[in-house]
A and B are shown apart, each in its own frame.
Chain A
Amino acid sequence: MKALLWLGNVDRRILYLLMGFVLLVPLVKPMGLPISVSEYTENVYNEIEKLSPGDRVFLDFNYTPGSIAELQAQADSITKHLLRKGVKVIAICFSPEGAMIADDTLNRIYGGAGKVYGEDYCHLGYLAGGETAQGAFIRDPLKACPQDFYGTPSSSLPICKGLSNGKDVQALIYFTTGYTAEWIRQAGPLGVPIIAGVITVLGPAQEAFVQSGQLKGLLVGMRGGAEYEIIMDEPGSAAAAMDAQSLGHLLFILFIIFGNASYFIQKKYGKKPVGGGRSHEY
């Protein structure tokens, strides 16, 4: 019982050390836990499979470098899938860091595969203004972005020929740490099929839009990225990190159980319970 009481009041620095250890070990020595592919990931895959060579797709990279761990695997896998399908990609970003991430991703994947900038893919850069800018862009992309990321007039790029509004693309795919329904509000009324890749905490809130059909597909967090790597048969960084995520979750649950066990023991024996609400003891 003393051990349980102690386990319910472990110094947070020990917790942090344990977490670091538990996350590091599987990255160095993988356990190879199987990763099953969910229906959500299959839906995204099937939506992209419906696209034909030569179709155009908007890609919005709306995340910061801090979220690369959660979203880059999704972005890479989906971009590779689009490349495989021969789909043309037009990148647009509504966060400044996203523009740099988009530049790196497209040049690495499309550029690295020998695709021609301006014909097979292009990057229209960063547009300030949040949802207002998204609304302006989807209604007249070339007016909202007269130049691309490199300063070339957008209208001179072959890939942008005939691009008058969102109805001229076959899908809009975005990766985000912050959107809830912005693209659904702005692009949904134009009938553009929308696919989302979000961080884990946004997954529950996006559920409603998947159920209503406003989102055609949804990838959630690093797990979504790992599943897409599996479905593409190209396991990468996300699949490799799943073991670490598993052990991290287990550690979490274990210490929550210890905390509760300690709480109930203290409550039963009449001591003032430590924890819950305004507790400052570690």
Chain B
Amino acid sequence: MRRELPVLIAGLSGALMVAEYFFNVGILKTWGLEMQNWGVIIAAFALGLAAVSLIRIHSRKMIERRGEWYNSVLLVGGMLVTAVSGIIGPDTAMFRFIFEDMITPLGSAFYSMVAYYLLSAAYRTFRARSFEATALLLSGIIVMLGSAPIGEVIWSKFPVLADWIMQFPNLAGSRGVLVGAAVGTVGIGVRIILGIDRSYLGGSE
């Protein structure tokens, strides 16, 4: 029963949402909307679960003085201060300071690292080793020059070429990936609804 009940719930919920999407039946619409609202509530609980898991794992580290346990002190402390100030109100000076003067600059700094790492990755690996690699390289260069103002200054046709690459070869490829992923997702959905795929229960069935 421990494994059958979740499978039954998953199957019935999935079937209901599929039926609700395709059929214009009042009771299905009502239940479908209700189920979506329950999903919102469950997701909110998952946020709480994240906080509890984090505190539990790092508290154990602090108590047992394992590894770099002092980092765990900082983490749990920071988390509690942010949570308390947020609960008091998002307009409080402390919460605004944490968000605007700590989280925002830290996030921006990390995001900016992407540019540097991308440069070293591209420098290291973008080689015209084959026809496909050369095509990738050339189209990448054209799109980069087409999207930056300097490209148009160098040659006025770069933006035109870049648009052509985006609207034809790129579009063809991305549509193929979209269709493939969509069919795959429907296939997985069918397996979950029918109880054939139980990977969401964890471990093998």
Contact = CB atoms under 8 A, between A and B. Distances in A.
B122 A35 contact: no
Interface residues of B, number: 55
A127 interface: yes
Contacts of B167: 207, 211
A144 B150 contact: no
B144 interface: yes
A251 B110 CA distance: 21
A223 interface: yes
Given A19-B119, A136-B39, 14 more contacts: A34-B153, A65-B106, A69-B108, A69-B111, A103-B90, A128-B44, A205-B178, A207-B166, A208-B174, A243-B149, A252-B119, A256-B122, A256-B126, A277-B125
A260 B33 contact: no
B11 to A, nearest CB: 17
A149 interface: yes
A259 interface: yes
A255 interface: yes
B141 interface: yes
A275 B174 contact: no
A133 B40 CA distance: 5
B170 interface: yes
A259 to B, nearest CB: 5
B36 A208 contact: no
Given A208-B174, A260-B127, A276-B127, A19 B115 contact: yes
Contacts of A264: 128
Contact of A34 (B33, B116, B152): B152
Interface string B105-134: 111101110011001101111111100000
10 contacts: A19-B116, A65-B104, A132-B36, A132-B43, A136-B39, A207-B166, A208-B174, A242-B149, A245-B149, A246-B151
> Would you list the 5 A-B pairs with minimal beta carbon distance, nearest first?
A246-B150, A66-B111, A66-B107, A129-B43, A132-B39
A155 interface: no
A21 B122 CA distance: 19
Contacts of A252: 119, 122, 144
Interface in A28-42: 33-36, 38
Contact of A130 (B43, B116, B129): B43
Interface of B: 33, 36-37, 39-40, 42-44, 46-47, 90-91, 99-100, 103-108, 110-112, 115-116, 119-120, 122-129, 137, 141, 144-145, 147-153, 159, 163, 166-167, 170-171, 174-175, 178
A139 interface: yes
A109 interface: no
Nearest to A35: B149
A20 to B, nearest CB: 8
A256 B123 contact: yes
Interface in A96-113: 97, 99-100, 103-104
Nearest to A64: B107
A248 interface: yes
A104 B90 CA distance: 11
Contacts of B147: 200, 221, 223, 249
A279 B141 contact: no
Given A33-B150, A143-B37, A276-B127, A204 B119 contact: no
Interface in A129-152: 129-130, 132-133, 135-136, 139-140, 143-144, 149-150
A277 B133 CA distance: 12
